Amino acid sequence: HATDRQERRRRGSMERQPEQPLPEAQIDDGSSASSLAIGKGSVCQQEDNSRDGIGGEYSGPELPEDIWCHTHSLMTLRDAARAACLSHAFLRSWRCHPNLIFDHGILCQLRHDLASTVNHIFENRSGIGVKTLKLDFSCYHEPKAYSYLHRWLRIAVTPGTEKLVVLSASDVAFNFPCSILSDGNGSTIQHLHLVDCGFHPTVSVVCMRSLTVLHLDHVGITGDELGCLFSGCVALEQLKLRRCSKITCLKIPSEMQRLSYLQVSVCHKLRMIKNEAPNSCSFDFLGDRIEISLGDSLRLKKLDVLCNNVLRYAREEFPSSAPNLENLSIFSCHEVANTAMAFVPSKFLHLKYLSISIAVAYDYLSLVYFLDAAPSLETFKLCVLTGLGPTDKLLLEDRSQLRQMSGYCHHKLQTVKISRFCSSKSMVFRRQIYQMLLLG
């Protein structure tokens, strides 16, 4: 009987023992594949073990290889990695998973094992290529590391690559190898995002006929080099240029008929923008006052401007240069004294949304001229980011000027928000503006 009791206790102990957890790929989040190469339980190392009969627990049904690959490609990277850990079939298709995303955190973890670990991944994919590739080298300040970056770009960028994101450290003189985009390798890229590097395309090397989104941030490229790139990018829809200090003149040709969105910010040496793209409908600008030619801008609907000394210019020029504007946002940190607006007959006939933010003392009541010019206005927002203090006297000296306005009643107006006034006369301002808005 003692033996029977011991046997029952042994069986009960075995039944109560918790199940061993299933193997799991080590991924920080659903968009990062790079941590798959870290640790003994990584998919890459299990891939090696599978050649020796070790690895996934379930082989899956008999299906053509292309179906496995397609099914695997539809999963998030987290689910795809887990499936590769558990299934021989998915482990085989893991090699052709379309996305490799090496973000800042993961590559920092791999600082002391960069060559062997990441090389293993790229060598296994040699000749296969990827659809989405992101390499964030912003934590690497040693030039030697960039020889690996060159190598991996040459391996991974092939016909079929659709999205390419490369970030380097700002203190390393890294030039993006434009030659990898030749021989048709760049012909399928739809999204290109470069940060902190040199980029020197030529007409003979670069043809990116599928490119729809181009984002250059702190990139060393000249206006002429951009022109070479534009000549082969007729499908471009979005262009973002930020901190590109070598550009002095930005010319966008009329052949770029699909370009709908342009963003230019903090390009300090830029002196002129000439946009002849006929279908641009949204333009964001942040920087110093420069010459801006919008060409045939009948389709421009949305304009955001963060610029000094822009209020009077916007009121006098934008109605004619962008006659179909519907959404206008202006932010000004500085305005020259005694440059308040005067009555101008031109109108924003289609303007529905107007937002003005001012971080400097100004004749705020003269902003009513903006309102008079917008008979279709539905939303008006005014934010004053500084107190009036001693500048309370900056009111229109001759209030009769306001009576010269056409007297539109803003029957379509739905929302008015006036905020951050710190002056004792703020209620006076508000009442006067409300009267102009509602009574005409």
Average pLDDT of every residue of the chain: 77
On the 0-12 / 13-18 / 19+ scale of CB atoms within 10 A, 153 is buried
Of 101, 131, 161, the residue at which a domain comes to its end is: 131
pLDDT digits (tens, 9 = 90+) for 155-169: 889 899 999 999 999
Report how many domains make up the chain: 2
DSSP 271-289: -EEEE--TT--EEEEESS-
pLDDT digits (tens, 9 = 90+) for 250-271: 999 999 999 999 999 999 999 9
Tokens of 187: 């012909």
pLDDT digits (tens, 9 = 90+) for 41-61: 444 444 444 444 444 444 556
> Looking at the DSSP assignment, which residues form a beta bridge with residue 262?
239, 283
- pLDDT higher at 147 or 425: 147
pLDDT digits (tens, 9 = 90+) for 202-215: 887 778 999 999 99
Tokens of 265: 């910010």
**Assigned domain for 201 exists:** no
**Assigned domain for 262 exists:** no
**Assigned domain for 39 exists:** yes
**3-class secondary structure, 36:** helix
> Looking at the DSSP assignment, which residues form a beta bridge with residue 135?
102, 166
**Assigned domain for 58 exists:** yes
Phi, psi of 393 (to 5 degrees): -70, -10
Residue 22 predicted with pLDDT over 50: no
CB 159 within 8 A of CB 188: yes
Q: What is the mean pLDDT of residues 343-366?
A: 84
**Assigned domain for 355 exists:** yes
The angle subtended at Cα 384 by Cα 378 and Cα 386, nearest 5°, is: 180
Of 85, 114, 131, the residue at which a domain comes to its end is: 131
Which H helix or E strand runs over 421?
A: none
Q: Is 91 left (phi over 0), alpha (psi -120 to 50) or beta?
A: alpha
Tokens of 331: 């932010």
CA 411, CA 388: separation in Å to the nearest integer? Answer: 31
Which residue range(s) make up the domain with 347? 318-440
pTM given for the model: 0.79
